[in-house]
Structure 1
Amino acid sequence: YLFSTMGAAAVFVAVRDGLGWIPSAWSSVRLYSRNIFFGMWISPMAVGIGYIIGPLFTGVWFLGAVISYFFLIPVGVAAGWFADVGSATAFKDSLGIGLMVGTGVGILLKGILPRAREIYLPVKSSGKGSRMKTLRWIPLVFAAIALFLTTLTEMTLVSSLLTIVGVWLTTAMAASITGQSGINPMEIFGIIILIAVKSVASLGTIEAFLVAGVVAVACGLAGDVLNDFKSGYLLKTNPRAQIVAETVGGVIGAVVSVIVLFIMFRAYGTMGPGTELPAPQAYAVSTMVGGLPNTPALFFGLVIGIIIYLMKLPGMTLGIGMYLPMEISTAAFVGGVISLIVGKIKPESKETGMIVSSGLLGGEGITGVVLAIIRVLTVS
């Protein structure tokens, strides 16, 4: 199932993006004239993501989109709450990001701080034996190397030091929350540290991106690695072999991902909501770096996000739906509905659906990169 669906998705994307025979998205012109932006991204990947996430989270995700595109924008403009669609969009974007940041703060307040000793004490403990005492210094060596590398960029010494401290704090949080929930809000950790550094140091645009980027990437890697070790522990995998594999994969991934990013940028140009590469996590960070479109909406969303998280509701997913384009939310929601139907009618096929969805993700992702490379080479 995996490779067959991967191949099917690859063919579909080649026909859609390579030949242009299938539109990448559909939107309702009639509703658009009324400032209701409803449509659907014609993407196997988005449907697969929705299936994997499941009906609950895609339902909340879609609810956030409905609140934004069926209420805040059309009703807000018609009622005079906002001067125009642009102002309404800025409000809903800031509100959505605030919900996400608020969820991150809620995780910090409820999930991390009460367990701070449990999370950070093992880092301080020396362990038994000379070998453990030697290993204890390895993180400090890597921290020193990272500090040196950041000073070679446009970051000042103060922002570099604060970033490294932020990485030390947030990677433990990311590893803990990923192990518990399977969700790693790495961009939220990047935003939190960015706000903290901005409060004590003046940052330029590039420097601010570096602070958030370093923290987010470190948290993403920490969460993935620790989640892999969790799986390895359950499967009784050799930890030493895992360490080697994770190290090699991390180094190679750091190089390859940058190359792919530049290829995608050369091929598609602008990234963010409303483009072929929406990049929601990066968009949230860029919004914080470039200046908030609506600061009161952000702080209102932040407070609501904390409250929603403390009520054990998926506030982050709601925020994602509020600021992502409606087309992506609709496609993911379709995947969630399919997951719900399969679970009700034929629950034994739910796992097969996961494999099929993984194939859809891989097929569209790989084909997209290949088409981007072809586009860059032909243009050059």
Structure 2
Amino acid sequence: MKPAKGQLTARGVAIGCVGCAIITAASAYTALKMGALPWPIIFAAIISLFFLKALGNTNLHEANVTHTIMSAGAMVAGGLAFTIPGIWIITKANTVDWWEMLIVALAGVTLGLVCTVFMRRYFIEDAELEFPIGMAAAQTLKAGDAGGKVGKQLFGSMGIAGIYTALRDWFGVIPAMFFGNVPIPGVAFGIYNSPMLLAVGFLVGTASVVVWFAGAIIGNFGIIVGGSGLGLWDTATGQGLASSLGMGVMMGCGVGVILKHILPKALSMIRSGAGAATFGSTPSGTSRTNTAPTAGRRRMRLTAGIIACAAAAVALLLCIGLGLDPFASIIVVLLAWVTTAMSAQSVGQTGIDPMEIFGLIVLLIVAAVSNVAQAQLFFVAGIIAVACGLAGDVMNDFKAGHVLGTDPKAQWIGQAIGGVLGAFVAVAVMFVLVAAYGADAFGLGGSFVAAQASVVATMVSGIPSVPAFAVGLAVGCVLYLLGLPVMMLGLGIYLPFYMSFTAFLGAMAKVAYDLACKRRRAKLSPEQAEAKRKAQDESGLVIASGLLGGESVVGVLVAFASVAMGLAL
């Protein structure tokens, strides 16, 4: 079956690839700098529709496939950024070759792509999960197609944030931190002077950021300041307890995902496996058993053969390229199927993809059953994190395509193009950043907090407080099962306080913006008020996305320029 005409186009691929390179570079920088990575799908959807309309007539399907290409590399960058810097954090040296990072990225991309072929029908059609990010992308494309000038707002906010970042990081005329000299033992207090982090707080959602900030209060002022003030432990011990508790809570969230969403549906997923291994959709009101069974079986056998060959190629690549023993390579490939299913289920129900947690789970399993060197354990976590990140992005895009009626094969080809391109771009950006800033710039005390990679590094090198980690694991699992945003709580406990505080201020800016917009709509009719509300929500989303993208892009350009000029940042 060929992709439907007018969906996967040459101009769409060109626009998607340019956007993919920019968004992937910005995402790598964002993930390392902020310890978080908002989904870029809505941002990519807006950009895709804008440029396609500028070039002439287009349709929602072409825009959907184009934004699929554009957003694919972001989660590849996230998977690498959330794991590989752990090696630099432990060794304080750049001991990873660029080609090793590229093998990790390409292996993860391949596994993510082949797994989504198998999973698409179950998660998108049979399970009918919400996939809130994918739904939002579909609605954004519909709204953008109906009208609205977003280009001026988007590029204007990107330009402002970019200039601001250059003045701060390149020219040094703007401080990086406000109130950073407030003397609170053990607490990195301050307001990070970052349009990007404010935008993250604006975009993530007020309730989630409040939980994030509550975690920061608990970790910093409850455990570190409060505990040391009461004489229960010293400041250094309090910091170890807080980081261990935060890691445990985030890991508990991953366990909760498995218990709540994966295990109860494992049997039905296996039963649906054969039918899921195709791209075709079943029209409503028809039975699959009535449709060309012989041709269907041939198609399924061909798909299964391609998947088996791809999986075997990845296992061989891991053995030869990364030096993993055959047993460990087989474990990684097999568990990729399990973890990508976990990722799809989590994204479908919550919109959250804890890819590094899934990578860490596989890392621990491999370490327990195989004699693998420390650096190779990070490679294992990176492969799984990339595969899970890409799988989450693919399934979001498939959901948007299902809502709009886009050909899933065209979308999958777009994902493959963007994923492979994103692997090369992400590796280049990370290699340039470590060359520009040095390996000691990564970690909680450095320029790049790399929070998730710090978690992985700590798990590999030794947890500061095993009891605190165990408590966090149990609490995180229970709270997730109760439906609370526990991942954000753990992130707040673990991250430096200034990051959580700045994101909180961004969320408060969202509250103020919503209140101001509500007052402006007070005298309008209900129909006018609703139309105005949608326009105001879109404006806030576009401007915040521009601030995030502007600082991310210029931050990467500053790093590239410093390497080219031989400067130390």
Q: Same fold (TM over 0.5)?
A: yes
CA contact (8 A) 2:213 2:504 kept: yes
Task: Tell me the CA shift for residue 136 of structure 1.
Answer: 2.2
Q: Which moved further from structure 2: 134-143 or 58-67?
A: 134-143
What amino acid does structure 2 have at the position aligned with 1:91? L
Q: Distance in 1 between matches of 2:270 and 2:451?
A: 31
What amino acid does structure 2 have at the position aligned with 1:129? R
Q: Deviations over 1:84-110 (max 9, x none)?
A: 322211111111010000011011001
CA contact (8 A) 2:186 2:236 kept: no
Distance 1:81 1:202, change over 3 A: farther
Matched with 1:309 is 480
Distance 1:37 1:253, change over 3 A: closer
Matched with 1:191 is 360
CA contact (8 A) 1:37 1:70 kept: no
Matched position secondary structure for 1:38:
coil
What amino acid does structure 1 have at the position aligned with 2:250? M
Q: Distance in 2 between matches of 1:199 and 1:44?
A: 43
Taking CA–CA contacts closer than 8 Å with sequence separation of 6 or more, which of the two structures ends up with the larger relative contact order?
1
CA contact (8 A) 2:187 2:497 kept: no
What is the Cα-based RMSD across aligned positions, in Å? 1.6
In the alignment, which of 229, 241, 255 is matched to residue 105 of structure 1?
255
Q: What pairs up with 1:184-333 in 2 under 5 angstroms?
A: 184-269=353-438, 270-333=441-504
Matched with 1:48 is 199
Q: What pairs up with 1:28-177 in 2 under 5 angstroms?
A: 28-32=180-184, 34-82=185-233, 84-125=234-275, 128-152=296-320, 153-177=322-346
- TM-score under structure 1 normalisation? 0.95
Q: Distance in 2 between matches of 1:102 and 1:68?
A: 17
Q: Percent identity?
A: 40
Matched position secondary structure for 2:258:
helix
Q: Distance in 1 between matches of 2:365 and 2:436?
A: 35
1:24 aligns with 2:195: no
CA contact (8 A) 2:274 2:300 kept: no
Q: Distance in 1 between matches of 2:384 and 2:187?
A: 37
Q: Distance in 1 between matches of 2:455 and 2:243?
A: 9
Task: Tell me the CA shift for residue 28 of structure 1.
Answer: 4.7
Matched position secondary structure for 1:29:
coil
Q: Distance in 2 between matches of 1:124 and 1:102?
A: 32
Task: Tell me the CA shift for residue 282 of structure 1.
Answer: 1.6
Q: Distance in 1 between matches of 2:393 and 2:210?
A: 26
Q: Deviations over 1:181-213 (max 9, x none)?
A: 211000111111122222222332112111111
1:375 aligns with 2:568: no
**What is the aligned residue count?**
378
Distance 1:242 1:92, change over 3 A: same
Q: Which moved further from structure 2: 195-204 or 144-153?
A: 195-204
CA contact (8 A) 2:252 2:472 kept: yes
Structure 1 residues without counterparts, runs of 5 or longer: none
Q: Which moved further from structure 2: 49-58 or 123-132?
A: 123-132
Q: Which moved further from structure 2: 20-29 or 169-178?
A: 20-29
Q: Distance in 1 between matches of 2:497 and 2:247?
A: 16
Structure 2 residues without counterparts, runs of 5 or longer: 1-152, 279-295, 519-532
Matched position secondary structure for 2:444:
coil
Q: Distance in 2 between matches of 1:365 and 1:293?
A: 32
Task: Tell me the CA shift for residue 81 of structure 1.
Answer: 2.3
Task: Flag the structure with larger Rg.
Answer: 2
Q: Which moved further from structure 2: 301-310 or 335-344?
A: 335-344
- TM-score under structure 2 normalisation? 0.64
Distance 1:232 1:376, change over 3 A: same
Task: Tell me the CA shift for residue 142 of structure 1.
Answer: 1.4
CA contact (8 A) 2:182 2:189 kept: no
Distance 1:246 1:77, change over 3 A: same
Task: Tell me the CA shift for residue 351 of structure 1.
Answer: 2.3
Q: Distance in 2 between matches of 1:263 and 1:254?
A: 14
Task: Tell me the CA shift for residue 38 of structure 1.
Answer: 2.1
